[in-house]
Chain A
Amino acid sequence: MLKMTDNQQRFSSGLDIGRLLRPFAGLAVPAGAVIAALAVGAILLGVFGANPLTGYRELFTGAFGGPDELAATALKSIPLMLVGVGICIAFRTGVINIGGEGQIIMGAILATLVALALPDVPRPILVPLVMIAGGIGGGIWGAIPGALKAYSGVNEILSTIMMNIIAGFFMSFLLEDWLIEPGAIRIQQTKRLTHNADLPILPGGTRLHLGIVVALIVAILGYLLLFRSSLGMRLRAVGHNPHASRAAGMKVELSITQALAFSGACAGIAGAVLVFGSESHRLIGEGGPLAFTQSAGFNGIVTALFGGLHPLFTVLSSYLFGGMLAGGISLQRAVQVPQALVIALNGVVVVFVVGSLKLRTRVQRWAEGDIQMEDRA
């Protein structure tokens, strides 16, 4: 992660020709890694008796083939964008947040509780209110491991994993009894929540709702926080070198706690969107926590890394990954290969891209050396 930022810095201080060529040298390797990963997917499709070309065509048209597809992709990408922006904030502060899953769940729970408590509040007030509640729920769930790391030295990878487990059981605790829909059929879900909290559908005739606007606003706020505020400057300084930051008089402990709180808040808003932007407008715990979060807590890490830990680029990479998820459904329909393939491919893409970073650094160095020689001649 830090390597990437180093490279970015090297970019800005380079020669003129270098500036033109180096980004392409740097991009060639991750692009190659993605192509290699897609080749693995093609082999898998072939093994299962499907034509890889047909499969990928279906995947692509299912993701980007028309207004409805573009909207479906956008819907799938909302949680990834929100979690991803949060991951940018945490990772830039040098904190690894694996707790997206739990933060999504706690955000969803608090937002649901607010909607249940205030069903008659008018929609223009209640919708922002439940989004904020989601942010607070996730924020608290992030702040706890943040504070534990900052003040007690507890490894955040572990504590956030534990917080995921606790949140999952907490959701099932609430939905077993207290919040379960009244009636004979005992499914772990709430009743249909108040219409006043429904995220409004955007004009245009698709299913796309206000959640995408929420995600974009959060991404812009995340960008402003990280790169245009003194708070963000402190966070990034702590991420770059905590010891130097401490020596410069910064409150490193506070920054770490803040970073995980912000990160969790973004994931928590994703939780609220998953509840109030869903077609059922309920909190559903049936099928386990993973079924509710759609693994966005993990996939958001992937999109943030692809976005170079920059909130605005994360929006873009989330949209592409959302396309893979949305396209997976039509892939399954067309060639009878389960959409689980897309999850597996996501994993392969991650492994290949992270695994090729060293190669990328080498190619970049080679490109630099090459240019310098040209310059001398």
Chain B
Amino acid sequence: MNDFFTVAIITATLASGIRLAVPFLLAALGEAVGQRAGVLNLGVEGVMLIGAFAAYYTALESGSAAFGLLMGLVVGMVMGLIYAFITVVMHAEQGISGIGIYLFGLGFTDLLFQKQVGTPRPISGLQTKPFDWLADDTGRAGELLFSHTILTYVAFLLVPVIYFLITRTTFGLNVRAVGENPQAADTLGVSVNGIRTAAIVIGNTMAGLAGAALALEIGIFQQNLTAGRGFIAIALVYFGAWRPVGVMAGSLLFGIVSSTVLQLQVQDVISGSVASIANMAPAVLTVIVLVVVSRRIGQPAALTRPFTRDS
């Protein structure tokens, strides 16, 4: 029991929690941008799966994790264009078409995996650790802060970047405008469909990247690799009340809880059944947080509403 409570293990657990938070963070930040523009994307899970498979397969064939990451990003972007066409141009019901994207991603990646790869073959993940040289001299805190791959830093750097984008730029103002009152934005000459398309593409690109990050972190691909993480990412947007910092807090919560549970299980501190209960905790906590915040913070007023000039 005492084994767990050494500084070394706690540090390692927290560090791995930060790594596990990255897919949540990327996907949820992207979803937040889309929702601020008034578009709900329930297909995050499917896009993550497609991004994960693209990254895995590319890394497997080319031997380059970075190239895999790039492919994850590209397929995310493509899925974003498709989703934008479906929801913005064709006005499809967003919740349902998202489920369609999810089913497509779930089946399509499983199909490709069985056909192209067959048996699970491991890939080596991303090795670029830009601040690794700092970790040796700075002790435990250094390990916690400087031992990560470049992707982790990029993900966390995106928190202030997205915050700045949404609150301090013209584009962000337009995003919020079309999410709250598209008719008014339209009257002022803002292209509602254009802004929404851009927001969706940003969101899906980040979902693809999130899937790629997950595949490279785990090092293999299998059917339903994401196991609900994309759906959790959507919930994290509400958890964080559509604000990047809140989304980050939620992502870290889910990441650190799962790394802690995993570590406790490896150390044989808790049994499998207790681990299941512990893994439930973030979901239960999210529901409680939703109860607390739902009265105080409203969602973007035009969320899920397609835009037409004549309505």
Contact = CB atoms under 8 A, between A and B. Distances in A.
Contact of A340 (B40, B46, B91, B223): B223
Contact of B107 (A159, A161, A168, A340): A340
Contacts of B231: 161, 164-165
Contact of A338 (B93, B114, B271): B114
Contacts of B107: 340-347
Interface residues of A, number: 56
A177 B294 contact: no
Is chain B's binding surface mostly helix, strand, loop or mixed? helix
Lowest 4 CB-CB distances: which A-B pairs, in order? Answer: A343-B107, A347-B104, A350-B100, A344-B107
B291 A148 contact: yes
Interface in A248-299: 288, 290, 295, 298-299
B290 A154 contact: yes
Interface residues of B, number: 51
Contact of A154 (B40, B271, B276, B287): B287
Given A164-B231, A343-B106, A344-B111, A169 B277 contact: yes
B283 A165 contact: yes
Nearest to B40: A157
B273 to A, nearest CB: 4
Contact of A347 (B40, B102, B287, B291): B102
B92 interface: yes
Contacts of A341: 107, 111
Interface of B: 40, 42, 46, 85-86, 90-93, 95-97, 99-108, 110-111, 114-115, 223-224, 227-228, 231-232, 234-235, 238, 271-273, 276-277, 279-280, 283-284, 286-287, 290-291, 294-295, 299
A21 interface: no
Interface string A338-366: 10111111111111001111110000000
Contacts of A164: 228, 231
Given A1-B93, A347-B106, A356-B90, A155 B238 contact: yes
Most B C-beta atoms less than 10 A away, residue of A163, A176, A288, A302: A176
Interface of A: 1, 44, 48, 96, 98, 148, 152-155, 157-159, 161-166, 168-170, 172-174, 176-178, 288, 290, 295, 298-299, 301-302, 305, 337-338, 340-351, 354-359
B93 A161 contact: no
Given A166-B280, A344-B108, A354-B92, A298 B290 contact: no
Contacts of B115: 48, 337-338
Contacts of A96: 95
Contacts of B287: 148, 154, 159, 162-163
Is chain A's binding surface mostly helix, strand, loop or mixed? helix
A176 B235 contact: no
Given A340-B107, A344-B111, A346-B107, A351 B100 contact: yes
Contacts of A158: 234-235, 238, 286, 290
A183 to B, nearest CB: 16
Contacts of A166: 280, 283-284
Contacts of A170: 276, 280
Given A154-B291, A350-B99, A358-B91, 13 more contacts: A48-B115, A152-B295, A154-B290, A157-B234, A158-B286, A165-B231, A177-B272, A338-B110, A344-B111, A346-B107, A347-B105, A351-B92, A358-B90
Given A157-B42, A343-B107, A351-B86, A176 B276 contact: yes
B251 to A, nearest CB: 15
